[in-house]
């Protein structure tokens, strides 16, 4: 049996990136944005002027984590924080980042990608993610 998984269109990823940047600009925040497909491969990235280069990597890692773990980075932190063995094991993994600011992108309950934003405070990064999702008519995960 073949299972087809829908993915996010690159044009939608670009639209989400622009919406996140616009939201950050309106608030006076400086961020980097990354949108990935369900397997964590980048579809769109952007770093605002004056944002240091490592922030882009953090955004990409947040998006990767949200897409591949199928939950927000904040929720994944809560799960990891409750288990010493999980916390120790994941501390040695590349690309898994549990700072707030990564959300899975859901369509009809299926993960079609992930969005990661970094550069502002965690709750501000999350607000930018939510603005990006709402801009393209997608619900924000809880």
pLDDT digits (tens, 9 = 90+) for 120-136: 999 999 999 999 999 99
Residue 94 to residues 48, 62, 101, Cα–Cα distance (Å): 25, 11, 17
Contact in structure between 114 and 103 (CB atoms under 8 Å): yes
Architecture (CATH level 2) of domain 10-135: 2-Layer Sandwich (3.30)
Task: Domain ranges for the chain, please list them.
Answer: 10-135
Contact in structure between 118 and 59 (CB atoms under 8 Å): yes
pTM above 0.85, yes or no: yes
Condensed to tens digits (0 to 9), the pLDDT of residues 22-65 reads 999 999 999 999 999 999 999 999 999 999 999 999 999 999 99
């Amino acid at each position: 049996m073949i299972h087809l998984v829908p993915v996010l269109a690159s044009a939608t990823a670009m639209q989400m990136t622009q919406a996140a940047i616009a939201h950050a600009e309106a608030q006076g925040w400086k961020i980097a944005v990354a949108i990935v497909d369900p397997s964590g491969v980048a579809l769109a990235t952007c770093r605002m002027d004056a944002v240091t280069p490592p922030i882009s990597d953090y955004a990409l890692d947040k998006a990767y984590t949200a897409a591949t773990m199928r939950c927000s980075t904040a929720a994944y932190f809560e799960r990891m924080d409750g288990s010493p063995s999980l916390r120790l094991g994941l501390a040695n993994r590349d690309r898994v980042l549990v700072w707030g600011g990564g959300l899975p992108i859901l369509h009809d309950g299926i993960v079609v990608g992930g969005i990661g934003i970094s550069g502002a405070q965690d709750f501000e990064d999350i607000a930018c993610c939510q603005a990006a999702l709402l801009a393209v008519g997608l619900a924000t995960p809880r």
